[in-house]
Structure 1
Amino acid sequence: MKRILVSSVSYPWRCGKRTLVTLPRITKIFDERVLDNTLHPPYDIHVPKITYTDMVWEGMETKGHLPAMTCGLSGRTLSHGELQEEALRLSKTLQGLNHVKTIGILLPNCVEYPAIICGSLHAGVTVTTLNPAYTPSEIAHQLEAARVDILFAANSLQEKVLSTVSLYSKLSMVVFVDAESQLNTGALKLDEKSVPYSQFLSVSPARSGARIDTVKDTAIMPFSSGTTGPPKGVELSQHNLVVQCLTMAVDGESFYRAFGKLQDVTVAVLPMYHIFGLAVTMTGALWAGSRQVTLPRFDSDLYIRCLEKYSPTYLHMVPPIVGFLASSPKVSAEHLSSLRQVNCGAAPCGLTLIEKFALKAPRVLFREGWGMTETTGAATAFHRSYQESAPGSVNTLLPNLRMRIVDSDTDEILGVDQTGELQVKGEGITKGYFNNEEATRKTFSQDGWMKTGDVGYFNKDGIIYISDRIKELIKVNGLQVAPAELENTLRQLDGVEDVAVVGVQDGRAGQLPRAFIVRSGSLTEADVKQWMSLKLSAHKQLNGGVVFVDSIPKSAAGKILRKDLVGK
């Protein structure tokens, strides 16, 4: 693919000049929010066509000395300047490997994660992120679908990686990272195709980046189920990532810019392989000069210790973590006293839980939003300057996006306070699914609007409410579970004649998968669950139960009528 350098950012920290880093420039204000049945944001902003690293390394002279990443397990810390140096050393190595087009990251949250992201994007290499809890077959499937050349994996996952390599043989190299600071590199069973991360880095940094078309070239490829079907590679450009960060940051309070010894601090527990953890939390913190305290997984005692030791100023969370902070007797108001705001996404939080949290932290601004992998993260957020608090809503559309409501049966474009499918358009939206023209065609309307699969409405003030979901996707603790993937796995089990999977509500996880199975022979629920435990990762297990039925309800065309199974 031909790459074209599109950049307009100078490097003041390289030339010794001091510059003032400011918020993005507002280009247009929309006093009337709904025009021709299309919802507009409060304003649009100017987003330059710059690379991802141009953006996050902007103003390094004001933050390079400050801590960027701290391991919540060991305390090991990299400053923003050290992280940039490490990323440039990785970039130099990758630029010297002409055959490498795509790398995979199979890591928990760790100090090295953003360095690998930045180094890869600086080198013009595409990144696909994987859930470390995946089974070898799930990992191999994504590696093959994304055409991965090199895999960066945690030392602790060595056995899983070895099993994966037997299923996907096209990896040219595996780079092992000591992600949890176990200092056990010597215990690695290395072969000619594997190397420790420290040895993979060049001894010197890259002096320049690859030639990149920031709009057309694919930068990251997280996998998402979209509105239906199995997970697919979502193609997001460097411009998509820049748009996401700057449209979130423009309100001036999502992230405070670092200066001197002042910086924001957050506990980075949302997985960095997820679009929320990568495009919203990680990217915003790198741009602002924040300190991210990484945790490889949520552990209540460790999380509390990080609150006590690092005094975070903001937190990005999903509803189960909000529930823990609001309900646990181990968490006091003092633990939350350093916070100015919290942001909750990935699944609805609910007014009751928000009110319960406010009892412990009445002065903390609680912000909810909505988005998708396909929108590069958030598409809505709370803008205090342009709206009153609207509990139960997902608040206001982000800059440079447009939204309309469409009747999914008739394709009629609806107006204010009318309920239908949310469709969005804008420069933060994915260009489509990798190597899957059919899924891309089904996801976009003929006039270029992306169908979200979510049902809701907006009012005349531009406040958005989501009431239902067309898409079959199940959300477990904010993680996507595609019913089709579970059904395909179950059909491989002897004794399963037919099957359908739906989500059932759960107070802690949000939803849990439940399978309805037409069986033959003596198949039991224990047989089914044992099979699933061998094939799929923990959040895809049938913790909502297994129900044996005589038949699966289907339409005349053979499509499963999942709505007829909900509640059974």
Structure 2
Amino acid sequence: MHSLPQNGLNSKSLGEIFFDILKNKADHTKIAMIDKVTKKQLNYAELLDQSLKVAEELKALGVANGDFVGIVSGNRPEFFVPVLACFFIGATIHPINSIYLLRELKSAFANSKPKIIFTTDESLKKVQDLQADTDYIENIINFDRNYLSIVQERSGLIEEEIVSNCDSDSAVILSSSGTSGLPKSVVLTQGNIKCSFNYLKYPYITVNYDDVIVGMMPYFHVLGFLVGISNIYSLSLMVTLQKFQPNHYCEIIEEFNVTSLQIVPSIGVFLAKHPMVKKYDFSTVKDIVCGAAPLGAEVQSILEKRFNCKVRQMYGMTETCGVISLVPMGEESKIGSVGKRFPWVDIKIIDIDTKEEMAQGGIGEMCVKTAQNMKGYLNMEEETKSMYLEDGYLRTGDIGFVDENGEIFIVDRLKELIKYKGFQVSPSELEDILNSHEYIVESGVVGLPDERAGELPMAFVVKRDNVDLSEEAVKEFLAGKLR
């Protein structure tokens, strides 16, 4: 495996790293995070102070190195306070989607069994019901209630109490479906997170001191979590949104002169096609980075023309602690490419059926070997083992190929391919074509069981308001593109 770049962090724990940044390098009066809607904010002095106080509280409640702490909350300025607090004391943070129902929360926390859960007024009832229905939750800390007394009354953890280097220890649990099945708890270590710092800087996902980040991607998701961490690491400003609201999203970009956008394909479709976007001044945007799923070539082309800037696609997954390939800043790439592998990442493509490594250009399953690879799925030894090949490569479940220039292209997900008369049909390819139609906002293609063909592609289409678009017109459009 290719060696990692030396970043001077190898001898420090995440707690030591972030304490040093916040204590010795930050402008303590600078705003770290502000909520777009409520206007609530934390400056860097408050972020450090509250994180140390929460760390002290967690220790007093019996949370120690190796214990788990949950978060059931939407994006908000205080979200990363318990994250940092856990880094300081060596506990593992486990954020969960706050819109989950009780049974989903119970399933999500079944393996980690957090002693403490941070939540909000909005989710408090569900978390209380979860506590009543289980035997592991000892305390609930509500950001809107008793959290406030903690940050008012505690004096704070002292520097000498911060845990030292522990790269193999778990740092965060994030949810992923893996290559199949229900969501699994992915264990990412302190070493994994430290490794991610290598791509959270130039020429990859560049976040600098003067930058403003739109904190819209969910913080419980690997991309949202790591972008939030990079905001603190770079001492920049993050403007938080609880959920995607088109007008608020556009207002943030214009008001704060945002220069770089980190998006997912659904936001890319919005930016490329929604007429609302034309009402705002987005001239400061010089870079767009898209991840989480493949962005269709048609949408990418429209975006680049509309914003007059490069759209850089990246590739990764929760199990690889985020990104493993990206088009570097200033480099040219083919439309649809997710760039080249990072220097410290090894990639090979294997045949879907035989599992043999394929020659360059062959389409098969992407497999990855890197120091970013997860520790495993929490308390799921067999499922973890099934993710790895005998030579240590992690199976991604994604279908793709590497061209003669080393550029990576993702075709589809292994578990989503439609089998038509023995042929493998890519839903994302059909979706890309459908989304290029001027009257189509978004589409989804699935396989419909068919006795003769095996499966037939079936599309669900969302059309623009106040336009006429018939099923026959969509079929004719698609047929014309597939000839």
Superposed pair shares fold, TM > 0.5: yes
How is 1:111-510 mapped onto 2 (pairs within 5 angstroms)?
A: 111-178=77-144, 185=145, 196-201=146-151, 203-208=154-159, 209-211=161-163, 213-251=165-203, 254-258=205-209, 263-279=210-226, 281-332=227-278, 334-362=280-308, 364-384=309-329, 387-471=331-415, 507=435
CA contact (8 A) 2:319 2:374 kept: yes
Q: Distance in 2 between matches of 1:509 and 1:345?
A: 17
AA aligned to 1:139 is L
CA contact (8 A) 1:57 1:287 kept: no
Q: Secondary structure at the match of 1:296?
A: coil
Q: Secondary structure at the match of 1:468?
A: strand
CA deviation string 1:5-51 (max 9, x = no partner): xxxxxxxxxxxxxxxxxxxxxxxxxxxxxxxxx9x7xx951143232
Number of matched pairs: 434
More moved, 222-231 vs 502-511: 502-511
Return the offset for 1:56.
4.1
Return the offset for 1:411.
2.6
Gaps of 5+ in 1: 1-37, 179-184, 186-195, 475-501, 517-548, 554-562
Identity among equivalent positions (%) equals 26
How is 1:63-78 mapped onto 2 (pairs within 5 angstroms)?
A: 63-78=27-42
CA deviation string 1:252-283 (max 9, x = no partner): x632432xxxx10021100000001002x111
Q: Secondary structure at the match of 2:118?
A: strand
Task: Tell me the equivalent position of 1:84.
Answer: 48
Return the offset for 1:510.
6.1
CA contact (8 A) 2:16 2:162 kept: no
AA aligned to 2:59 is Q
TM-score, normalisation: structure 1: 0.71
Task: Please tell me the root mean square deviation across aligned C-alpha atoms, in Å.
Answer: 2.8
Q: Distance in 2 between matches of 1:230 and 1:200?
A: 36
CA contact (8 A) 1:255 1:284 kept: no
AA aligned to 1:217 is D
CA contact (8 A) 2:26 2:44 kept: no
CA contact (8 A) 2:251 2:280 kept: no
Q: Distance in 2 between matches of 1:266 and 1:155?
A: 26
Return the offset for 1:566.
5.2
Q: Distance in 1 between matches of 2:127 and 2:48?
A: 28
Return the offset for 1:468.
2.6
Change beyond 3 A, Cα 1:359–1:377: same
Q: Secondary structure at the match of 2:217?
A: coil
Q: Distance in 1 between matches of 2:268 and 2:16?
A: 34
More moved, 166-175 vs 422-431: 166-175
Task: Tell me the equivalent position of 1:526.
Answer: none
More moved, 158-167 vs 374-383: 158-167
Gaps of 5+ in 2: 419-426, 436-440, 459-483
AA aligned to 1:219 is A
CA contact (8 A) 2:18 2:233 kept: yes
Return the offset for 1:333.
7.3
Q: Distance in 2 between matches of 1:313 and 1:567?
A: 39
AA aligned to 1:379 is I
Return the offset for 1:62.
4.7
More moved, 197-206 vs 126-135: 197-206
Tell me if 1:54 matches 2:16: yes
Return the offset for 1:355.
1.9
AA aligned to 2:223 is F
Could you list the structure 1 runs, at least 4 aligned residues long, displaced by more than 6 angstroms after superposition: 512-516
Q: Distance in 2 between matches of 1:224 and 1:284?
A: 21
TM-score, normalisation: structure 2: 0.83
Change beyond 3 A, Cα 1:223–1:256: closer
